[in-house]
Chain A
Amino acid sequence: MQNKKKKNRPLSPHITIYRPQFTSVTSILTRITGNSLLVGSLIFVFWFISVAMGEIFFNKVSPYIHSGFVDFIMFLSIWAFWYHFLAGLRHLYWDTGRGLEIYEAKVLAYIVVVGSFGLSAFTALII
């Protein structure tokens, strides 16, 4: 009896029964961007390994690494990185016990979203 109850317990973030709010969406995006960054990171590691394999191999795989599709992934990764970066800073700030009032949380959410686009544009210009 007790075991059955235990097995049917819902898992912690009840996203399916939670009405989406601006602040909750920005929070979930932290997780999505962070975990999606694995793709860009592994592409980068593959590029790094191709450097180590020597010039011939590097030139052979270079067209694939800099194809339009991979460029698109890397560009999205830049945004995902800055978003995750700012949202992570927000988490560190929250961990000090500040910024948790509803008004402050909304302001922080706006800063994270607007800041991520601004920093992505800045990065794209420089790189």
Chain B
Amino acid sequence: MASSQSKKILSGQHSRSGTHHHKRMMRSSIALVFLMPLFIFSVGPVFGSPYSEVIAFLSRPFNALLMFVSLSVIFVHFSFGVQVLIEDYVRGEARSTLILVMNLVCYTAIGMSLFALIRILL
């Protein structure tokens, strides 16, 4: 009786990965604590500059690297965060579908920014 009940709980209630989810959230946020101020104050002023200035900014390796690393960590962090949101408010099959869709959005954004960066630098 007790074991069948605990089996039921284990099968439907959680995926036994809560600690891992919390740790990856913390790791990505610690990275962003350092990356984001750098990103905001160096890339921020370029958003709105004319084309030639943007290209000049991105042709410096440090800026290009900062751009790609920041965008990657931002969207990875977002995918973790939005998963928590979905797990809290969406139930049933829509839950896993929505998590999948949001992951797709995040990794597409990372892929496209990598594509953009390569195209700019080549």
Q: What is the size, in residues, of chain B's interface with A at 8 Å between Cβ atoms?
A: 38
- Tell me if A12 is interfacial: C-beta within 8 Å of chain B: yes
A41–B112 CB distance below 8 A: no
Q: Which residues of B contact A51 (CB under 8 A)?
A: 51, 54-55, 58, 116, 120
Q: A52-B117, A92-B26 are in contact. Are A11 and B88 (CB under 8 A)?
A: yes
User: When the two chains form their complex, are residues B48 and A66 in contact, meaning their CB atoms are under 8 A apart?
Assistant: yes
Given A38-B78, A88-B29, also A45-B41 (CB < 8 A):
no
Cβ-based interface call for B16 (8 A):
no
26 pairs across A/B with beta carbons < 8 Å? A31-B85, A34-B78, A34-B81, A38-B78, A38-B82, A41-B109, A42-B109, A44-B47, A45-B112, A45-B116, A48-B67, A48-B116, A51-B51, A51-B116, A51-B120, A52-B119, A55-B51, A66-B48, A88-B32, A88-B33, A92-B26, A92-B30, A92-B33, A123-B41, A126-B41, A127-B40
Q: How far is the CA of A44 from the CA of B40 in the complex (A)?
A: 12
In the complex, the number of residue pairs spanning A and B with C-beta atoms less than 8 Å apart equals 86
For residue A117, CB closer than 8 A to chain B, the reply is: no
Q: Contacting B74 at CB < 8 Å: which of A13, A41, A91?
A: A41
> Given that A92-B30, A126-B41 are known contacts, is A85 also in contact with B120, CB under 8 Å in the complex?
no
Q: Which residues of B contact A (CB under 8 A)?
A: 8, 12, 26, 29-30, 32-33, 36, 40-41, 44-45, 47-48, 51, 54-55, 58, 67, 71, 74-75, 78, 81-82, 85, 88-89, 91, 105, 109, 112-113, 115-117, 119-120
Main secondary structure of the interface of B (DSSP, over half): helix
Residues of A that sit less than 8 Å from B by CB: 2, 6, 11-13, 31, 34-35, 37-38, 41-42, 44-45, 47-49, 51-52, 55, 58-59, 66, 74, 78, 81, 85, 88-89, 91-92, 95, 123, 126-127
Interface centre among A42, A48, A81 (most CB of B within 10 A): A48
Given A11-B89, A59-B51; A52-B36 close (CB under 8 Å) = no
- For A58, what are the chain B residues with a Cβ–Cβ distance below 8 Å? 51, 54
